[in-house]
Amino acid sequence: MRIERDTLGEVQVPDDALYGAQTQRAVENYPISGLRAHPTFTRTFIMLKRAAALANIELGAMPREKGDSIVRACDELLNDFDRYRAQFVIDVFQAGAGTSFNMNVNEVIAHLAGTGVHPNDDVNMSQSTNDVVPTAIRICALLLLHELFPRLDELAIAFDAKGDEFADVIKSGRTHLQDAVPVTLGQEFRAYGMTVHRATHLLRDAARELRILGIGGTATGTGINTPPGYRFEVVRLLRDMTGLELEAADDLREAMQSLLPVVAVSSALRNLALELTRITNDLRLLASGPLTGLAEIILPAVQPGSSIMPGKVNPSMLECMNQLLFHIIGAATAIDYASQAGQLELNVMMPLVAFELNFSIEILKNFLPVLVEKCIRGIAADRERCESYYISSPSLATLLNPFIGYARAAEIAKESARTKTPIPELLRAKGILSDEEIARIFTPEQLTGGS
């Protein structure tokens, strides 16, 4: 161990640690979850420190030699991040606003930059935890969403492809979990694809607001201790580093008080998760069986389904999907509570917001390609099962309304349900309609709308 000092006094720090006293205090104060910041969040922080140093050099606030040493330290961390990742040791549950994490990054950079570079005076120059953390939350989310969007598109395309494959598979529709007029399996899957397309579009729209940054507001949005033009220069540098279309906020106070853009993204992500949960539940229901469920679709087998029942195969990929979607929905609720807990000039609950948002995006983007490859693309239709359900469904009587009226059609439906006789057979046996009329009424186009 070695002795480090901060404004509270001396602290023992591990010899091999690149961080200092303030980080060590946080390690001792918050031994909570063992969870650490998302690596992209840490890298975003380092990019912010690099941009701040360059801006301070350009605006004459920092000597070039000192600023260059900070930039070099940031470059070393970014270029060899896996080597240094273990130095960022703050638990995701920590002191309010993220001061502990900010100082962890400041201290590591100062250590690598060399003698004479101070974590507060130099690495943190023209900054505050209060403007750096909300800026990092926004940029990190944009970077992670950039990886998520193509995977959502792949899911939607996979559903679209199944829609085409199953376009001719007529099946019983169901409303209220009761038999309803027929649809095609393709129509169901195309609707799933459209839902993913639309929910992704809404998420993209929400993400646009994340581009507006409050960096340069420092402690309360007044820009205290920053050189003129600093916030615009930092945003310009961050645009160059990230390739994102970032903008400086018009009102720095609002950008630091409010997490509205972050909550909008979280809400859009929750809405996506709710829709994906609905679709996932549908697929599990359609695949239920193989003998005592609906069994209209067959899922690819990815692993044995039971430790005791031989031959059992479960919808394992969909079950996993449900679990991570439930987490995303719960995380959005945590973010909701955190966002309304902001007070006056600052929301101190930002560490929780950062973790929950980043983790939600991460688990979804990681699992979607596996779900598409090992589940969605391999779904098969049990055509005979689908046909047997729809042809024997009393709901086919709905097609008779224009020809024999609702009341008489209802009698036919009841008799069909009671006797288990398909509607076309009853009509033929009772002489209500001719074979030609039956053939004309009960066509795929009439049954499912032909689209």
Torsion of CA 244, 250, 254, 255, to 10 degrees: 20
Residue closest to 205 by CA, chosen among 145, 129, 257: 145
Tokens 């394992």 — which residue? 316
* Residue 250: both structure tokens together: 């018009």
Cα–Cα dist 328/336, whole Å: 12
Told to judge if 306 belongs to the known catalytic residues of this protein, a careful annotator would answer yes
Residues 361 and 151: their CA atoms lie apart, in Å, by 11
DSSP string, 4-58: EEETTEEEEE-TT-S--HHHHHHHHH--SS--B--HHHHHHHHHHHHHHHHHHHH
Choosing from 33, 306, 307, 392, which is the catalytic residue?
306
Q: Phi and psi for 219 in degrees, rounded to 5?
A: -75, -45
Residue in 283, 272, 338, 355 with CA at minimum distance from that of residue 315? 283
User: Radius of gyration (Cα) for the chain, nearest Å?
Assistant: 30
- Catalytic center residues: 306
